[in-house]
Amino acid sequence: MAEAYIVAAARTAGGKRNGALRDWHPADLAAEVLDALVRRSGIDPSAIEDVIMGCVGQAGEQAFHVGRNAVLASSLPQSVPAVTIDRQCGSSQQSIQFAAQAVMSGTQDVVVAAGVESMTRVPMGLPFTLPMQHGIGTGPFSKRIQERFGVAMFSQFHGAEMIAEKHQFRREELDLFALHSHRKAAAAADGGAFDEEIVPLAIATEDGGSALHARDEGIRADATLEGIASVKTLQEGGRISAANASQICDGASGVLVASERALKEHGLTPMARIVNLTVTGGDPVIMLEEVIPATKRALDRAGMKIGDIDLYEVNEAFAPVPLAWLKELGADPERLNVHGGAIALGHPLGASGTKLMATLLHAIERRGGRYGLQTMCEGGGLANVTIVESLA
C-alpha cells in the first residue's frame, strides 16, 4: 500500500467565547489556515485535489458547506473542491484519515485535511436546537433510539460523570489534572513551543487599534487549585465542573497530506508518515470511554505497544477521559499532552483534530521523538486514533 505523509500543519491560536476571534467569520478563519499550509509547504495551490473540512455546528455562518466557502475565501483557485464532514469532536481528525486514505489508495496525491469552529458565532448545539425552537421536529434521537438505550438524550456531561464514577476519580484528582493542563500550556506558550504551528491573525483591540492574535486565549497562567476547586459542579454532587472540562473555543486548523509521488513532483519535505488510522464505535451512553478500546486496537494493528509511543495527545474534553485512558493503557503521564490540552487551550470542536495533530507533530520534533499517537472521544460513542512517525 502507498504511504501518506503530512507535509505541513498549522492552527490558529484559540479564542475564548466572545473573545479575540469574535469578529472573524468562520469561512475566513479556515481560509487563513488553508493559505498558511500553502505558504509553509511551498506547493502550487492548484495541485491540491481536495479539501476535507471538519465542522460540527453546520448552521448559520457555518452552513451551506463551510469547507467550500473556506476555499472561496482563500487564495486557492476555485478549481479546488471541498467537502464538509461531521464526526463530532473528531471531525478534523477524521479529515486526516479520509485524506490519508485517498492518498494511500492512489486516487489522489495532495489533500488538505482541516477543521473550523466558531463557537461564538455558531453556539454549540444550534443545528438541532434551532428547529425545535421553531416547533419543528423532536430532536436528533428518535423514539426507537431512546427505547433501545433507555435514555431520552445522550449527554457528554453525563458520560464524563459516569467515567469519573466508574474509575473512582475524586473531584480533587480532576481539578489537579486541570491545573497541570494550564501550567503546561503556559510554559509551552512562554517557551515558544507553539510559535511554529500558530497562524497569527489580525484582530481589533479595545482602543480601536489592531494587533496579532498569536497566543491561546484560554490559558490561565495564574490558575490555582483553590480557584479551580471553587467552580461549581455541573450537577449536584457531581465531579465535573467547567474548570476541569474543555473550554468553548473559536479556531481553525489543518494539515497537508501528500503521497510519495507528490513529494518528489513538488519538492515537498515531509514532517511525518502516517502509520495507522483507526476509528471505532462503542457505548453511546458513557460515550467518551471509547478512546481506550480504540487505542488498543490501533496499537495492535500497528504491531506496537504503548511504550513505543514517544508522545500522545488525548483530547481533554473532560479530565476523566485522559485519566481513564492513562489508567487502562498503563501509559506514561509524562508523555501525555505535554503542552497542555483543551482544558487550557480550548476545544474548537470540528477544528480540534487537526489542531491536536499540529501540536503533536511540532512537539515530537522539538523533543527529538519518533512516534506520536492522537485520540479523540466523540459524540455517539465514537473514537479516532491516528499514529504518526516523525520525519522532521
Tell me if residue 64 falls in helix, strand or coil.
coil
- Residues 88 and 380 sit within 8 Å (Cβ to Cβ): yes
Contacts of 48 (CB under 8 A, 6+ apart): 38, 76, 80, 110, 111, 112, 256
Grid cell 476519580 in the structure block, residue: 169
Distance between CA 106 and CA 51 in Å, rounded? Answer: 16
Of residues 182, 213, 347, 362, which has the active-site annotation?
347
Residue 89 appears among annotated catalytic residues: yes
Closest CA to 271 of 387, 358, 192: 358
Residue 55 appears among annotated catalytic residues: no
Residue 249 appears among annotated catalytic residues: no
Of residues 55, 249, 339, 377, which has the active-site annotation?
377
| 326: its cell numbers | 492513562
CB atoms within 10 A of CB 206: 5
CB-neighbour burial class of residue 224 (10 A; exposed 0-12, middle 13-18, buried 19+) = exposed
How many helices and strands, by DSSP H and E, does the chain display? 13, 12
- What length does the chain have? 392
CB atoms within 10 A of CB 8: 25
Q: How far apart are the first and last CA of the chain?
A: 23
Closest CA to 376 of 167, 89, 118: 89
Output the CA angle 123-125-129, nearest 5 degrees.
Answer: 110
Contacts of 236 (CB under 8 A, 6+ apart): none
Distance between CA 70 and CA 116 in Å, rounded? Answer: 9
Closest CA to 379 of 334, 317, 331: 317
Of residues 55, 89, 158, 249, which has the active-site annotation?
89
Contacts of 146 (CB under 8 A, 6+ apart): 152
Distance between CA 272 and CA 275 in Å, rounded? Answer: 9
Task: Indicate which residues carry an active-site annotation.
Answer: 89, 347, 377
